[in-house]
Amino acid sequence: MSAHRLKSRAVLDRQEFGRTGHHSSRVVFGAAALSRMQQDRADAVLATVLEFGVNHIDTAASYGESELRLAPWLNQHRDGVFLASKTGERTGPEARAGLERSLQRLGVDHIDLIQLHNLVEEDEWHTAHGRGGAVEALAAAREEGLVRYIGVTGHGLRIAGMHLRSLDRFDFDSVLLPYNFTLLRDYSYQADVELLIGRCEERRVAVQTIKSLARRRWAGAEGPRFSWYEPITDQPALARSVRWVLSKPGLFLNSSSDARLLRPTLDAAASEANVPSDAEMQADADALQIEPLFDGDVLERI
């Protein structure tokens, strides 16, 4: 699929999404934000996506009503976006059935990128990569034209290492993992991430980042919750967090499931402000009491 420019007032920077040939906006719209919305609200959010020229949408079968909310919009804009989804299934038959259901719910005849969702646990990894597993089934679906590319995603401090193993086992087209200033202060995780990014650069595998706006796990804070973790809502700190991630060449930033943060995220990504220093990022972490979401132990599961 060729890249089509969407009408907008502030088109974001774009770069080639790995070896796919598609030039994706540096911010990928995380359609988990649509999971609990009515259609009119979802349409308003997608209008913001269009306004900023976001041309890459990331959803998943497990994101509530997201696929259904995207369907009417895709009916008008399918040719202008790179459409990604995910499956949490590990066996071949279940992954195939899930893919077919997603295609039906989205109202499309193919998905550009299908991703194995949160492939981090050892037993699930072996099932997915084994004979009759999800990887085999998705590769067959690619041959049939139901999907064009295959990726792998995950959470936690183990995931960079697991992605390296996955890339050794199968030639994935993309990876997705947590990436923010505070998480990268864990030097073991940082080393794994840097090794993974280097491997991806060699193979032209796209690298997507999540949790760029994570503040900490919820700790009794009041108010509505639109993500499983408490996000950064302080506008200057949010903007610095976005610019810090996007200052890293080759990385894509997937937007938060909290739709209230979409426009500030896109404004920051479109800004020509200076890249924040590590000292500024640390000052934000101290002032906002930002904590790692994962610890390699009891906090690994979301």
Token pair listed for 207: 């690298």
CATH code of residue 128: 3.20.20.100
Mean pLDDT computed over every residue of the chain: 94
Whether 186 is covered by a domain: the verdict is yes
| pLDDT score at 67 | 96
pLDDT digits (tens, 9 = 90+) for 82-139: 999 999 999 999 999 999 999 999 999 999 999 999 999 999 999 999 999 999 999 9
Overall average pLDDT of the 169-188 stretch:
97
Contacts of residue 162, defined as CB under 8 A and 6 or more positions apart, other chains included, come to 119, 120, 125, 154
User: Using an 8 Å Cβ cutoff, are 149 and 174 in contact?
Assistant: yes
Whether 297 is covered by a domain: the verdict is no
Whether 43 is covered by a domain: the verdict is yes
One DSSP character per residue, 20-77 reads S--EEESEEEEGGGGTT--HHHHHHHHHHHHHTT--EEE--TTSTTHHHHHHHHHHHH
Whether 275 is covered by a domain: the verdict is yes
Whether 6 is covered by a domain: the verdict is no
pLDDT at residue 9 greater than cutoff 70: no
Overall average pLDDT of the 253-263 stretch:
96
HEC per residue, 148-162: EEEEEECCCCCHHHH
Q: How many domains is the chain built from?
A: 1
Whether 9 is covered by a domain: the verdict is no
Which range marks the domain in which residue 161 is found? 14-288
31 confidence band (pLDDT: 50, 70, 90) = very high
Whether 3 is covered by a domain: the verdict is no
301 confidence band (pLDDT: 50, 70, 90) = confident
Q: Confirm whether pTM is higher than 0.85.
A: yes
Whether 301 is covered by a domain: the verdict is no
